[in-house]
Amino acid sequence: MAIGTRSGFIIRYLSVFALASLVWEFAHMPLYTLWTTGTVGEIAFAALHCAAGDVLIGTSALLLAIVLFGGSGWPGQRAVIVAVAAVTFGLAYTVFSEWLNVELRQSWAYRDAMPTLPPIGTGLTPILQWIIVPLAAYRESLIATRRHSHPQQHTRHQHGTRAND
């Protein structure tokens, strides 16, 4: 794979990841106590701040996964192991961060409406976020990269003709 393909994948991944993280942060904000105690400005700032942090975590998780498992052929090769590793790294950090900030530092708190996972008590929506958002961004980036790498095949298949025609 060419370097341009790799950088294009990463740029697309982070773009999709950032937008999805921002949407997710605003969507699950009602499950945090800030929703009932904060002002509109505080809630907006928290969602933007958390989304920015998500992008930093997501970037780190993806780059670490690429370095450890990607190899020179990534993303054309070893795509699944890199995706699994990136999700695992992001998820591990999130579980630690939620525990640290909810239990120890008490920087934020869940409302009773937040489903939590026993025994650690981590909120379900942050866990789901770090499974769904990176996988969706990765899938979108992989499809776009493959489409870009093989534009004639993509065009032929879209028009319903066989590649041998």
Looking at the domain assignment, is residue 139 inside a domain?
A: yes
Does the pLDDT of residue 142 top 90, yes or no?
yes
What's the confidence (pLDDT) of residue 160?
Answer: 52
Q: Which domain covers residue 124, as residue numbers?
A: 3-147
Q: Does residue 116 fall inside a structural domain?
A: yes
Rounded mean pLDDT of 4-11? 90
pLDDT band at 35 (very low <50, low <70, confident <90, very high): very high
Is the pLDDT at 48 greater than 90, yes or no? yes
Residue 36 lies in a domain: yes
Q: Is residue 160 part of a domain?
A: no
Question: What is the rounded CA–CA span in Å between residue 76 and residue 98?
Answer: 34
pLDDT at 118 over 90: no
Domain count across the chain: 1
Residue 97: inside a domain: yes
Which range is least confidently modeled, 58-67, 135-144, 154-163?
154-163
Taking the C-alpha atoms of residue 75 and residue 80, their distance in angstroms, rounded to an integer, is 9
Q: Which two tokens stand for residue 14?
A: 């982070």
Residue 101 lies in a domain: yes
Assigned domain for 164 exists: no
